Amino acid sequence: MLDAKIPAGQLNSKWEDYKGHCKLVNPANKRSLEIIIVGTGLAGASAAASLGELGYKVKAFCFQDSARRAHSIAAQGGINAAKNYQNDGDSVFRLFYDTVKGGDYRAREANVHRLAEVSANIIDQCVAQGVPFAREYGGLLSNRSFGGTQVQRTFYAAGQTGQQLLLGAYSALERQVALGNVTLYTRHEMLDIVKIDGKARGIIARDLTTGKLERHFGHAVLLCSGGYGNVFYLSTNAMGSNVTAAWKATKKGAFFGNPCFTQIHPTCIPVSGDHQSKLTLMSESLRNDGRIWVPKKQNDTRKPSDIPEDERDYYLERRYPAFGNLVPRDVASRAAKERCDAGYGVGSSKQAVYLDFAANMERYGKIEAGKRGLHNPTPDQIRQLGKEVVVEKYGNLFDMYAKITGEDPYEVPMRIYPAVHYTMGGLWVDYELMTTVPGLYALGEANFSDHGANRLGASALMQGLADGYFVIPYTIGNYLADEIRTKAIPTDHPAFVEAEKQAQETIDRLMNIKGSKSVDHFHKKLGKIMWEKCGMARNEQGLKEAIEEIKALRAEFWKDVRIPGEANELNPELEKAGRVADFLELGELMCMDALNRRESCGGHFREESQTEEGEALRDDANFSYVAAWEYKGDSAYELHKEPLVFEECKPTQRSYK
């Protein structure tokens, strides 16, 4: 039976009670305890900085050449916090409720409430670090709206919030490196977990510049390695993002939670051809001021400027009047797909919809004209003044779109279409963020815990920093307090020797195949299977077909993949091969999980389970649980269920109308 270790008592007092009663490690003992952190994005960097500050001996690993290159840097639109700066009715409870509802009632209440509680502290922490959040004229921090909410609670730094937050966490991390509390290992990839007497006691890492395998001991191991969206090949993730750390943990006994819960982001630049290796996200914050529409006439080939207002279908505003363009991501994505599938798509591919700023540019222009005392401004003046406001709020996003598409989004509407973005699934963790392997923790996107079946926009940065700055410093002490008598285990221990041997054997096996097809060949084929049969819509037949196709593809991979170069050198193709091998196993489990979950919820849309209006139809009686899968061997998994109990947020059919 899975024990989530949720504290007793009232929901709004669980975290305070936990902090008041958890075990502590005194400062002298912290100096003799070693912690390994894998990944240095927002979750990893903040955890390493916090634990180093507390006095633990920390080793942090990243496969990039600098912790600043973690994929967290790509986040654009903002970070949520329940500070109610706008005085518009926000509160800790409302952020908690929006998150549970947005996740379609498939998240654990206690974890989500804790996240909402600590959210305000994150903003204060980051401001103190010098993060340049946008500010109002009077100096107060500025907020904007994101999908799934009716308040403005998203703090932002233009369209580069992730970058600024990561630089804040990175500076805190580098301070600890300089003080000697953190040792940073760049260009290192974790290849396996080392378990001794059932506990996580270290990792095997590969120095990516030399190919040398290394053994590293830790009293505890924290996986902060991000999500697995690249299983689809084309996604908004950085090309290096992968599931290897989490998957190796799964094969060592850590259960994998809700693997089928992947998020499709509605605001991405459409695919332009087979040459692409990744997709580009346009921040959800653009939905604040951009109106989404398609022509009312099917297969309309006119320029958007030639289509009059009464021949445009603002379909989100039509279908969801209460939330309009700010419905949650899963709802907006399915609505765009429905319009395109029905023949109303735009652009050469007809797989796109318009995101149009003209109306709000005019509105901003009139406001600015009023501020400046221009009583009879010309249309050109209004447009120019409005453009200046949009440049200030979203300028770098507009520049990025123009560079990629060659179109000026100030003059013509952007074209957008949904794409794979975030993964709500991940390693199953309890309230303390510990996996089913004692001493092994998962933070940020690497765990399953806070977003249910659909993450609300601007909540990824919130969760990563909450886990690293404000949760793990308390919860890890509850475990390490009992480990103060455990001396550092020498890395010539048989468990380290065996783990390194297995990692080397996998590398040797890959290098000895000497097949005829590239790693990307297999990755693209896997991605096509996943997108078509386990993507925006899934059905029983397609998922069963996908499982068999992935098995066949995996067998072909291990017979015919070609990896040039040598193992004992810088070899990016070998790195990719190991990651794709893990994706080929994870993809099968994702389809198995999607097949087992015979309901629609959030980003998991089973065609057999929908309302008359085409919305997701949950089955709370049979599927109100976390699916935690235990690895039992090739293509063999045992399902464990953690029942979800809702005391404050009673599940209802989601409505944004």
Q: Quick: pLDDT tens for 66-93.
A: 999 999 999 999 999 999 988 999 999 9
Give me the pLDDT at residue 516, please.
98
For residue 326, pLDDT over 80 is answered with: yes
Which one, of 141, 147, 158, 15, lies nearest residue 83 by Cα?
Answer: 141
Which stretches of 79-160 are DSSP H helices?
A: 92-102, 109-129
Instruction: Give every CB contact of residue 387 below 8 A, 6+ residues apart in sequence.
Output: 361, 365, 410
Give CA–CA dist 545/595, Å, rounded. 11
Residue 117's alpha-carbon distances to 80, 86, 466, in angstroms, are 11, 18, 10
Specify the pLDDT at position 548. Answer: 98
- What is the C-alpha end-to-end distance of the chain, expressed in Å? 39
Is the pLDDT at 275 greater than 90, yes or no? no
The pLDDT-based confidence of 454 (bands split at 50, 70, 90) is: very high
Contact call for residues 316 and 335 (beta carbons, < 8 A) = yes
How many whole angstroms separate alpha carbon 347 and alpha carbon 355?
12
Q: Mind telling me the catalytic residues?
A: 329
* pLDDT of 272 strictly over 90: no
Task: With a cut of 80, say whether residue 647 has pLDDT above it.
Answer: yes
For residue 622, with 0-12 CB atoms within 10 Å meaning exposed, 13-18 middle and 19 or more buried, which class applies? exposed
- The Cα 535–Cα 263 span in angstroms is 9
Residue 100 near residue 452 (C-beta atoms within 8 A): yes
DSSP-derived 3-state class of residue 474: helix
Q: How far apart are CA 434 and CA 419, in angstroms?
A: 31
Q: Is residue 581 scored above 90 in pLDDT? A: yes
Tell me what pLDDT residue 109 has: 98
* DSSP-assigned states of every residue in 589-618: HHHHHHHH--S-BTTB-BTTSB-TTS-B--
Residue 657 pLDDT level (bands cut at 50, 70, 90): confident
Rg (CA), the chain: 24
- pTM for the model: 0.97
How far, in Å, CA of 522 to CA of 525, rounded? 5
Q: Is the pLDDT of residue 1 over 80?
A: no
- What pLDDT is recorded for position 276? 83
pLDDT digits (tens, 9 = 90+) for 137-148: 888 999 999 989
User: How do beta strands 220-223 and 440-442 pair?
Assistant: parallel
DSSP category for residue 294: E
- The SS3 of residue 20 is helix
| DSSP 8-state assignment for residue 340 | I
The chain-wide mean pLDDT, for the chain, equals 96
pLDDT of 493 over the 90 cut = yes
CB 151 within 8 A of CB 94: yes
CA distance 167 to 170: 5
Distance CA 112, CA 648 (A): 12
* pLDDT average, residue stretch 401-410: 95
- HSE-up of 71 (CA within 13 Å, CB side)? 26
Please state at what angle helix 244-251 crosses helix 572-596, rounded to 10 degrees.
60
pLDDT on residue 66: 96
Q: Please, what's the largest Cα pairwise distance for the chain?
A: 82
pLDDT at 288: 87
pLDDT over 90 percentage in the chain: 93
Neighbours of 258 (CB within 10 A): 29
**String of DSSP letters for 48-86:** HHHHHHHT-EEEEE-SSSSGGGSGGGG--S-EE----TT
* Residue 329 reports pLDDT greater than 80: yes
The number of residues in the chain equals 657
Looking at this protein, which amino acid is placed at residue 374?
L
Q: CATH assignment of 492-620?
A: 1.20.58.100
**Burial call 288-317: b when 16+ CB within 10 Å, e when fewer:** bbbbbbbbeeeebeeebeebeeeebbbbbe
Please give the Cα distance from 638 to 629 (Å, whole number): 6
Q: What pLDDT, on a 0 to 100 scale, did the predictor assign at position 183? A: 98
Alpha-carbon separation of residue 164 from 77, 127, 443, 467 (angstroms): 11, 11, 20, 18
| Residue 274 reports pLDDT greater than 80 | no
Residues 142-176 pLDDT 10s: 999 998 999 999 999 988 999 999 999 999 999 99
Tell me the C-alpha to C-alpha distance, in Å, between residue 203 and each of 245, 284, 519, 575. 10, 37, 25, 17
pLDDT tens by residue, 58-70? 999 999 999 999 9
**H-helix or E-strand containing 440?**
strand 440-442
pLDDT tens by residue, 124-134 = 999 999 999 99
Q: What residue segments make up the domains of the chain, in order of their start?
A: 266-420, 492-620
Q: Is the sign of the CA dihedral 554, 558, 564, 565 positive or negative?
A: positive
| CATH code for the domain defined by 266-420 | 3.90.700.10
